């Protein structure tokens, strides 16, 4: 009886599934060198950037789409995608008053108010709609501290030397199939620069919204923390419901110098498709951070609840001596969702440390895989890794897999790996129900208990949100 009722925990109504009716400037479907040049010229880019794109595109043409992940999906037709779509509005908005009210309204509906009066206190937001950034809040206040937080396009104009120096320095344009594609056609994203010794005075956040039905979203995020600097950054994502699949292939690069730290949190809630697996976002993302300096630190926290397909391995290259990498992940799949996600911890410097805590929850007929690499290089003397990968199964038709890869060239490095799989048992559910707690609330209590270690890592403002989101994702008719 319980297995039937858990099966009936169908996809929650996706409340961000609306479409904003707005005129857009689009480039015709299809991908060619011409399209790459057109994107670059539309954005009036300097030559180094055009060259970066062209090199990536030419390399991409020689690559094959990877098929090693435990994911199954129809081949993507790269000629049937729009690579650039921007809401039509005044070329450059001097202030929010000039932003199309429809866009402001869209973000308001998503719970991300951009207007001065209603802003989230102490969180600066960069709002990206389809291919372009439409507004960034609190810029002046951040500028007082020397912090740069703006759209990628603006960064290219205002800080070309930083972009040229750091772009592609962590994830090179020929890193992998999707990174090469992104490098060729990326349209916008966020740029963050925290100068030496500055502790960023507020949370920074980018909110990604896909609106058009046949548009791919290819954003690029670059965050640089100079010596002794620190920042906490959060990204959120939603998309309307379409019965076709949209491609999202982003690249995120983090650079941290001596004693600096970046905390990068993601709450991903792209449209996941319906209960039969029709529609939804294909999310192929390359995220990597480089701890270049001694004692530097990168912490990835992700709550992955959306997308039809998730292919994502936020990684840390631990170069500096005593640098620290962390990866905290909750991946929830339901219905026909598929996720293959994890991390890579590449230990290069001595005494580097990394922690991996991964919690996978599979419900419905979904499939959820953890794939992680821990690598100890020859110089990583005294390095340590601790990994913990837990899976929770809900119902009897979901799958959970763990693929831990361990490579060590350093005998004095320690690697610990723990894994567990549990199923929400009928007896646990009955125990809670026999105390007056409804079936759905019982499931949600147990799921959020399971994720506690990861949620504790989220910035406070978002931890409660994540809890609610998970409950919502599992909500449905109880049989």
Partner 1 sequence: MIRPDAELLLDITDLHASVEDQPILKGVNLQVRSGEIHAVMGRNGSGKSTLSKVLAGHPAYRVTSGTVLYRGENLFELEAEERARLGVFLGFQYPVEIPGVSNLEFLRVATNARRLKRNLEELDTFDFEDHVQERLKVVQMDPAFLERSVNEGFSGGEKKRNEILQMALLEPVVAILDETDSGLDIDALRIVAGGVNQLANADNATLLITHYQRLLDEITPDYVHVMASGRILRTGGRELALELEQTGYDWVDKELAAQGVA
- Give contact residues for partner 1 (rule: CB under 8 A): 1-2, 425-428, 430-439, 441, 445-446, 448-452
In the bound complex, what is the minimum distance in angstroms from residue 473's beta carbon to partner 1? 17
**Closer by beta carbon to partner 1, 93 or else 452:** 452
Whole-angstrom Cα distance, residue 363 to residue 396?
8
In the bound complex, what is the minimum distance in angstroms from residue 201's beta carbon to partner 1? 31
In the bound complex, what is the minimum distance in angstroms from residue 287's beta carbon to partner 1? 27
In the bound complex, what is the minimum distance in angstroms from residue 357's beta carbon to partner 1? 13
Q: Are 223 and 262 in contact (CB under 8 A)?
A: yes
Q: Are strands 251-256 and 123-129 parallel, antiparallel or unpaired?
A: unpaired
**Closer by beta carbon to partner 1, 275 or else 440:** 440
**Closer by beta carbon to partner 1, 172 or else 428:** 428
In the bound complex, what is the minimum distance in angstroms from residue 130's beta carbon to partner 1? 39
Q: In whole angstroms, what separates CA 224 from the centre of its chain?
A: 17
Calculate the dihedral angle through the C-alpha atoms of 50, 51, 53, 55, rounding to the nearest 10 degrees: 160
The H or E element containing residue 225 is: strand 219-225
In the bound complex, what is the minimum distance in angstroms from residue 367's beta carbon to partner 1? 23
In the bound complex, what is the minimum distance in angstroms from residue 477's beta carbon to partner 1? 14
Distances (CA, A) of 108 to 105, 269, 355: 5, 17, 36
**Closer by beta carbon to partner 1, 89 or else 448:** 448
**Closer by beta carbon to partner 1, 49 or else 437:** 437
Nearest to 316 by CA among 304, 305, 329, 327: 327
**Cβ partners under 8 Å of residue 161, min gap 6:** none
**Closer by beta carbon to partner 1, 134 or else 363:** 363
Whole-angstrom Cα distance, residue 150 to residue 135?
9
Q: How many CB atoms lie within 10 A of CB 102?
A: 13
Whole-angstrom Cα distance, residue 375 to residue 213?
40
Whole-angstrom Cα distance, residue 128 to residue 151?
8
CA-based Rg of the chain, rounded to a whole angstrom? 22
**Closer by beta carbon to partner 1, 17 or else 449:** 449
**Closer by beta carbon to partner 1, 186 or else 450:** 450
**Closer by beta carbon to partner 1, 92 or else 435:** 435
In the bound complex, what is the minimum distance in angstroms from residue 418's beta carbon to partner 1? 14
Whole-angstrom Cα distance, residue 261 to residue 126?
21
Q: Are 311 and 283 in contact (CB under 8 A)?
A: yes
**Closer by beta carbon to partner 1, 108 or else 441:** 441
In the bound complex, what is the minimum distance in angstroms from residue 339's beta carbon to partner 1? 21
Q: In whole angstroms, what separates CA 304 from the centre of its chain?
A: 8
In the bound complex, what is the minimum distance in angstroms from residue 443's beta carbon to partner 1? 11
Bridge-partner residues for 133, per DSSP?
128
382: left (phi over 0), alpha (psi -120 to 50) or beta: left
Whole-angstrom Cα distance, residue 475 to residue 362?
14
In the bound complex, what is the minimum distance in angstroms from residue 471's beta carbon to partner 1? 13
Whole-angstrom Cα distance, residue 330 to residue 453?
10
**Closer by beta carbon to partner 1, 103 or else 429:** 429
In the bound complex, what is the minimum distance in angstroms from residue 10's beta carbon to partner 1? 19
Name the residue with tokens 């592609």.
168
**Closer by beta carbon to partner 1, 405 or else 430:** 430
**Cβ partners under 8 Å of residue 328, min gap 6:** 299, 300, 301, 302, 357, 358, 453, 454, 457
Whole-angstrom Cα distance, residue 410 to residue 1?
52
Nearest to 389 by CA among 315, 334, 453: 453
């Amino acid at each position: 009886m319980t297995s039937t009722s858990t099966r009936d925990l169908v996809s929650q109504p996706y409340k961000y599934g609306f479409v904003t009716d707005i005129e857009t400037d689009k480039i015709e479907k299809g991908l060619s060198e011409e399209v790459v040049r057109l994107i670059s010229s539309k954005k009036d880019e300097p030559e180094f950037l055009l060259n970066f794109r062209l090199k990536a595109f030419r390399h991409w043409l020689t690559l094959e789409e990877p098929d090693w992940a435990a994911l199954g999906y129809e081949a993507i037709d790269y000629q049937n995608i729009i690579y650039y779509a921007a809401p039509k509005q005044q070329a450059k908005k001097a202030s929010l008053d000039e932003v199309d009210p429809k866009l402001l309204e869209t973000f308001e509906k998503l719970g991300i108010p951009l207007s001065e009066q209603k802003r989230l206190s102490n969180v600066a937001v960069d709002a990206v709609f389809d291919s372009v950034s439409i507004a960034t809040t609190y810029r002046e206040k951040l500028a007082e501290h020397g912090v740069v937080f703006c759209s990628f396009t603006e960064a290219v104009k205002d800080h070309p030397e930083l972009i040229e120096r750091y772009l592609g320095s962590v994830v090179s344009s020929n890193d992998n199939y999707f990174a090469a594609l992104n490098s060729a056609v990326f349209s916008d994203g966020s740029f963050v620069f925290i100068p030496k010794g500055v502790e960023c005075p507020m949370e920074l956040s980018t909110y990604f919204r896909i609106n058009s039905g046949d548009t791919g979203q290819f954003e690029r995020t670059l965050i640089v923390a100079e010596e002794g600097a620190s920042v906490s950054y959060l990204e959120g994502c939603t998309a309307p419901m379409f019965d076709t699949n949209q491609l999202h292939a982003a690249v995120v690069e983090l650079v941290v110098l001596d004693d600096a730290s970046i905390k990068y949190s993601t709450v991903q809630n792209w449209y996941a498709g319906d209960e039969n697996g029709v529609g939804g976002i294909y999310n192929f993302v390359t995220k990597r951070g480089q701890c270049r300096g001694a004692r530097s630190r990168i912490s990835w926290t992700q709550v992955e609840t959306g997308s039809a397909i998730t292919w994502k391995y936020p990684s840390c290259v631990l170069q500096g001596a005593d640098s620290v990498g962390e990866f905290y992940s909750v991946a929830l799949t339901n219905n026909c969702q598929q996720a293959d996600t994890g991390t890579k911890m590449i230990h290069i410097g001595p005494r580097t440390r990394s922690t991996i805590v991964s919690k996978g929850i599979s419900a419905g007929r979904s499939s959820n895989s953890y794939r992680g690499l821990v690598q100890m290089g020859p110089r990583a003397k005294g390095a340590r890794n601790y990994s913990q990968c837990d899976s929770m199964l809900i119902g009897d038709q979901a799958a959970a897999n763990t693929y831990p890869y361990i490579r060590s060239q350093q005998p004095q490095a320690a690697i610990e790996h723990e894994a567990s799989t549990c199923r929400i048992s009928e007896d646990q559910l009955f125990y809670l129900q026999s105390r007056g707690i409804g079936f759905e609330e019982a499931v949600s209590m147990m799921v959020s208990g399971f994720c506690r270690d990861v949620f504790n890592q989220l910035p406070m403002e978002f931890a409660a949100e994540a809890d609610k989101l998970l409950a919502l994702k599992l909500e449905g008719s109880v049989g």
